[in-house]
Amino acid sequence: MLDLISRKLRLERRDAITRLTAGLSLICLLGLTGDIHEGAAYEMDQTGQGGALHGRVTFNGAIPQAERLRVPRDSAFCGSTILKEALHVEPQSHGVADAIVSIEGIEKGKPLPMEQAVTIENRRCRFLPRVQATTLGATLLVTNEDPILHNTRLRKETTQGKTFLNVALPKGVQPVQRTLSEPGLLLVLCAAHPFMRATIQVFEHPYFAVTDASGNFDITAIPPGTYLLRVWHETLGLSEQTLTIPEGEARTTMNVKLEF
C-alpha cells in the first residue's frame, strides 16, 4: 500500500512541475504581467555551484516558561491539558527550533528537488511535524493516526485566509493527498481541536531550511551575490537582514537573534 502511494506521489510531483513550467513559459511568451509572484523568475541551473551558508537562530532574553492549553474535547484521549509547543528554545545555547530561514532574491540557482513531499500526521492530538518548508509542486499527505475524529484545515497566511484544504478525518481514514501549487504560508488547523497548530511554507526556490533543535541551519549551492536573509518564527515573528555570498565555494556563517 505504501509503495503504491509512494509511486503515485512521484508521478503527481513530476506532473505538477511540468504543468507549472508550462504555465510560466506561456506567461513569458504572451508578455503578461498580472499577479505573478516574485519567484516566478527563478531559473534552474543544473551545475548547482556556489557557496554554503551556516548559521544559528537564537532567542535573546530569558526563556519563557512553557504554557499548557485546556483541551475542551476528547480529553479522555488527548488529556485535560496539552503543552503549547509553539516555542522551543534549547536551554544551553538558546537555539530556536522550527524557525524557517530563506534567502530571497536569487534568480538562478540549483534545481528544485524532484521528489519533494510533506506529510502532516494527526498524532496524539498534535500535528507532526509542527513546522515544514517545501517547494511548489510538492505533494502533501495528511493522515490521522488517532482513534478520534480530526478535521484538518489549511488556510493561506492567516486563520481567516483562503481555504486550501478542509477535510474530516475519522478514525481509520485513508491518507488524503493534495499538490501544493501555490507559494506562501499555510496555517494548519483542526476545526475539532482549536489548540492544534502547524505551519507549511511553500517556496518557489530551493534556498531555505528549518532550524533543528539547537537552532542550526545550512543552505548550500548559493550563487555569489547580495541577497535578503529572512527568518520567520511562529511566535517570534519575522527578521530580515542583508546577506552577501562571496565568489568561490566558501562557507559563510551568519547568526540571527530573535526576541519578543
Amino acid at 181: S
- Provide the CA 82 distance to its chain's centre, in angstroms: 23
Helix (H) / strand (E) containing 15: helix 2-30
Distance CA 238, CA 243 (A): 16
* pLDDT on residue 27: 28
Q: Please, what sign has the CA dihedral across residues 218, 90, 127, 232?
A: negative
Entry pTM: 0.83
User: 100: which 3 cell numbers?
Assistant: 524557517
Q: What is the DSSP letter of 41?
A: G
* pLDDT on residue 48: 67
Domain with 12 in it: 2-258
Rounded alpha-carbon distances, angstroms, from residue 241 to 95, 124, 138, 190: 19, 38, 28, 34
How many structural domains are present in the chain?
A: 1
CATH number of the domain where residue 125 is located: 2.60.40.420
Helix (H) / strand (E) containing 136: none
Distance CA 9, CA 132 (A): 18
- Which segments of 16-115 are extended strands (E)? 43-44, 51-59, 68-70, 81-83, 100-104, 108-109
* pLDDT on residue 250: 87
* 57: nearest Cα among 250, 246, 234: 234
* pLDDT on residue 18: 42
Burial category of 18 from C-beta neighbours within 10 Å (exposed 0-12, middle 13-18, buried 19 and up) = exposed
Distance CA 39, CA 52 (A): 21
List the chain pLDDT tens, one digit each, 260 residues. 434 444 454 545 445 444 443 333 332 323 322 232 344 478 988 776 899 999 999 999 999 999 999 999 999 999 999 999 999 999 999 999 999 999 999 999 999 887 789 999 999 999 999 999 999 999 999 999 999 999 999 999 999 999 999 999 999 999 999 999 999 999 999 999 999 999 999 999 999 999 999 999 999 999 999 999 999 999 999 999 999 999 887 899 999 999 99
Q: Which residues pair with 95 in a beta bridge?
A: 58
Distance CA 241, CA 229 (A): 5
Residues 6+ apart with CB under 8 A from 252: 51, 52, 53, 54, 243, 244, 245, 246
* 68: nearest Cα among 148, 125, 107, 121: 125
* pLDDT on residue 113: 84
